[in-house]
Amino acid sequence: MPNYKILDHWARKAKEEGYAARSVFKLDEIHKRFPVVPRGGKGIGVDLGCFPGSWSKWLIQQGVRVVGVDLKAPELTGGTWIVASALEVTAEQLIEAAGGPIDLLVSDMAPNTTGNKFTDHVRQIELATRALDLAKQVLTPGGAFVAKVFDGGDAPAYVKAVQATFREFKRIKPDATRDSSVEFFVAGRGLR
């Protein structure tokens, strides 16, 4: 089992640049390879599973107004935080907190892992499915989406569901992803 307490290149870089987690470089690379932030950074984005705040901070730096949802709010200014489970937050709550049309929904959600790959995969797919369901309800036509997925038996069906929901689609495993990780990301643009 790898020791994740040892800071690797990406974790050190995140710390040096003032981010709470290395995951910021995953979103940055996804956007560089498949732009999802509204042009000019204008727009509203929802960050599901926003704690500790690296993705939200990055989005805010791009000019996006952020509504973040997690069981704990990040220590970050510039966003609106809903302290709740993404499995329980409603589309109406997101729309009300956004105060305008939502252009982007991102999700870096993962369950508290158990070490059982099957159980962890099933629980993570549940979170990714919830993110897609909320995206369908809250995104403006043409909106964009990014979600983490743990690879496994249910991943192909989930990927097909995302492909069917957006006009453009990309599956990405960013460089900042640990070699031992089973995660990859799906990104969609142009909500149908």
**H helices within 34-186, ranges in order?**
54-61, 91-98, 117-138, 155-165
Question: Which residues are registered as beta bridge partners of 82?
Answer: 69
Please say whether the beta carbons of 44 and 64 come within 8 A. yes
- Tokens representing 189? 């643009």
Instruction: Give the total number of structural domains in the chain.
Output: 1
Cα torsion angle, 36, 39, 40, 41, sign: negative
1 belongs to a structural domain: no
pTM of structure: 0.91
pLDDT of residue 39: 80
**pLDDT tens-digit map of 4-43:** 445 576 777 767 766 767 788 899 999 999 999 988 778 9
Class of residue 150 by CB neighbours under 10 A (exposed 0-12, middle 13-18, buried 19+): buried
94 belongs to a structural domain: yes
124 belongs to a structural domain: yes
83: confidence class by pLDDT, cuts 50, 70, 90: very high
State which residues form the domain around 75. 9-191
84 belongs to a structural domain: yes
pLDDT of residue 3: 43
**pLDDT tens-digit map of 146-168:** 999 999 999 999 999 999 999 99
**Among all chains, which residue has been given the structure tokens 């870096």?**
108
4 belongs to a structural domain: no
69 belongs to a structural domain: yes
| CATH number of the domain residue 109 falls in | 3.40.50.150
147 belongs to a structural domain: yes
2 belongs to a structural domain: no
Residues with catalytic roles: 148
